Structure 1
Amino acid sequence: MRTNAMGRGWIGLLLSLCLAACAREAAPPPVRFFAEGQPADLAEWNLLRVADGRLRLNRGVMPYDLNTPLFSDYAHKLRTVWMPQGQAAAYDAERAFDFPVGTILSKTFYYPRGEGDTVLRSADDGPDLRGGGLELSKVRLVETRLLVRRREGWIALPYVWNEQQTRARLMRAGELVPLRLTGADGRSEPAQYQVPDQNQCAGCHGTDMKSKALQPIGPKARQLNRDFAYDDGLANQIARWTRAGYLRGAPAPQAAPRAANWRDPGAPLDAKARAYLDVNCGHCHSPSGPGNTSGLWLDAATREPLRLGRCKLPIAAGKGTGDRRYGLVPGKPDESILVYRMLSDDPAVMMPELGRSVVHAEGVQLIRDWIAAQQGSCG
């Protein structure tokens, strides 16, 4: 009896060792950083992989979200960050963090699926990663953009997913993806989702006109200072990045700036509107951005009412004024150029100029409410 028990024990041990070895063999290869070149297939980076019906994150690839995200034709976004072992970003209270060489930021644009070939026009509440990744039967993947920090600076790479959602290929010239957006009320509208070409990426990420170098836009302290639903529970992102070794020099979250969530019913109207304008417009309309010559600065740091458009005459808007006199007329959103341009889908008029083909109705309403609540007149 004792011999049989010992035999069974040895067999169990051997089976455990075999299973462990198989598990090790089945583990995906580590993330690969390319110091040069432009890999044709997203899979070559080993950041994300399609497995068991899900889009999964590799080891060390950390998801994150923003308090108020950029609007992109109602697309939802899965954002991730990866850095080489032992490297960390340097904290900055105002600007995007200073990321080390080897950093890879990814942003996957997707839509919840509707009936037939439609996708849902819905607010982005952050990616649902329960089960280990995005469930592909419930989403339509469109593209994954990479921002890669090389020694000479950042490079942007747009990868477009095939219809089978098995592969994403580099599309340096961009691509136009026709979609049909369906709202909760059942009404639908066409959208020509534009995957930007590499030059257009610089239109948003070239936030400093002096250097004209690409820079990240989203990963700033005020945007990351929020909780995220990680596998092991909710945790503040700044604290988690610090604990993971991805961030150095950060204060406790309560001492860091925090942007408002533009959809938070409990947040002040001014804070929500300013957060929305900052992320959608402020990277261009700032003292150092490509839109600085307009004199309209919509970044978070600007406080001067005239710079924010209040009773401000346009400099060179042309057709973009819609025969309106001022950028922002207190109490009168319909007389404000800002609202007129947000409501337009004419490429010669609309703002932002890139990243959308449909009107963000909810965003426009927020800015309308903000202007309507302001007191005073333009004389």
Structure 2
Amino acid sequence: MIKRLRKIAILAALSAIFFSCSDDNDPANPDPDPPIAMDDDYIPIPESPVVLDMDAFPFNTLSEYSFFEGNMKEQNPVLGVIPYEPISTLFTDYAKKKRFIWMPSDVQATYAADTEVIDMPVGTFLIKTFYYTNVQPNNDTRIIETRLMLKKADDWYFADYIWNDEQTEATFSLSGSFTNVEFLENGEMKSANYRIPSEVECFTCHKSGTSSVPIGLKPQNLNSMYDFADGTENQLQNLIDEGYLEDNLPTTINTVVKWSDDTQPIEMRVRSYIDINCAHCHQELSHCDYRPMRFAFDESADPTNLGICVDPDESIPEMTKIVAPAQSESSVLYFRINTEAEEFRMPLLGRTIIHEEAVQMIGQWIDGLTTECDSEGGGDGED
């Protein structure tokens, strides 16, 4: 909105200048360049109130950035702070999330590929708030943390802000901690010892070699409609309209599906789920790149990258394959997502309880596979 308003203001100012000028050859106008008076029609160019200070980052409190207007816990973004939501979202102990992006004026992000994080300019903030509704015993809403990533010239940098009990302010900390949350999810009581990450844990999930990268800001994850405050629009097109993204997208984008949408093919749902939840570790130069699976959406069409008929690289009793077709109970993938044991669970970070709906979906997918594994641990992946 902010850059769109700037364009409108500039056009309005230029129009006022053009129509106020008379013919330079008119003898009644001996001064060809009269001064322009700022009258009642003057339209100031709007500026975002967000505070960007590279040297002072991270601030001690969240409010110092001025990302939100009014009561901060309502998370109403100020001018220039744009909400977004990946098509399939990462599971964090059933926490709900609000995500925003902000950029300085006169810079743009650029498209690299459907499967690659959009190339963000220096000064970009990514803002993500984690919260629960129906928190017991009073069915309250409780915000736990707001995580920031700031793009500097050499890398992305992290900051995390922990909300106080009064829900009036959040204070910087990257030391890591736990907090217990009891809440209702679809009418069922759940309890999580929610993990607030340390700086090392942030880097573990966002690692690419020695650098840090965002996870969900890829065209494949954002090519969807979103209900913005001023109307429903495709998220990528909205970023273009706001001036945040260069208008150079391809005509078609290979796009994930919403994993919880049971009208979609189950293989696409599974691939979309493990892309957002697992691929950031199971890829080259990332934390689990020594594992044989490659879970990125553009790689998981290959059944071997999904682990189908692939021998596990460590021995777990009664587990015969990473994905054993028609045998979810013998599949390492199913076992790891269906346990809370820290030494076995996957993802290792970001969850302490089981994502029951995803376990059911992945179990259904595995049990529906009809591939016959050969004796060498490979298969054609047909189902």
TM range (shorter): 0.7 to 0.9
Q: Following the alignment from structure 1 to structure 2, what is the Cα–Cα distance between the partners of residues 106 and 333? A: 37
Q: How many residues align?
A: 328
Identify which of 358, 366, 369 aligns with 1:371. 366
Q: In the superposition, relative to structure 1, how do residues 40 and 53 fare at CA in structure 2: closer, same or farther (>3 Å)?
A: closer
Identify which of 338, 343, 351 aligns with 1:343. 338
List runs of 5+ in structure 2 lacking aligned partners: 1-43, 375-383
Residue aligning to 1:47: 67
Structure 1 window deviating more from structure 2 (236-245 vs 258-267): it is 258-267
Residue aligning to 2:230: 232
Residue aligning to 2:348: 353
Identify which of 141, 152, 155 aligns with 1:153. 155
Q: TM-score, normalised by structure 1?
A: 0.82
Shift of 1:174: 1.8
Residue aligning to 1:100: 121
Shift of 1:296: 1.3
Q: Does 1:176 align with 2:173?
A: no
Give the letter for the 1:44 counterpart: E
Aligned pairs (5 A) from 1:153-232 = 153-185=155-187, 187-206=188-207, 208-209=208-209, 212-232=210-230
Q: Following the alignment from structure 1 to structure 2, what is the Cα–Cα distance between the partners of residues 34 and 334? A: 52
Q: Following the alignment from structure 2 to structure 1, what is the Cα–Cα distance between the partners of residues 47 and 75? A: 13
Residue aligning to 1:327: 322
Q: Deviations over 1:34-74 (max 9, x none)?
A: 21232110111111245287232111000001100000000
- Which protein shows a greater Rg? 2
Residue aligning to 1:70: 90
State, as a whole percentage, how many aligned pairs show the same letter: 29
Q: Secondary structure at the residue paired with 2:144? A: strand
Identify which of 233, 240, 243 aligns with 1:242. 240
Q: Following the alignment from structure 1 to structure 2, what is the Cα–Cα distance between the partners of residues 334 and 61? A: 45
Residue aligning to 2:141: 139
Q: Deviations over 1:291-348 (max 9, x none)?
A: 1211111111213322211111122x35xx3431210011111110100000111110
Q: Following the alignment from structure 2 to structure 1, what is the Cα–Cα distance between the partners of residues 311 and 134? A: 44
Identify which of 269, 291, 294 aligns with 1:294. 291
Q: Is the 8 A contact 1:329 1:377 kept in 2?
A: no
Q: Following the alignment from structure 1 to structure 2, what is the Cα–Cα distance between the partners of residues 204 and 287? A: 13
Identify which of 246, 252, 256 aligns with 2:253. 256
Q: Is the 8 A contact 1:322 1:340 kept in 2?
A: no
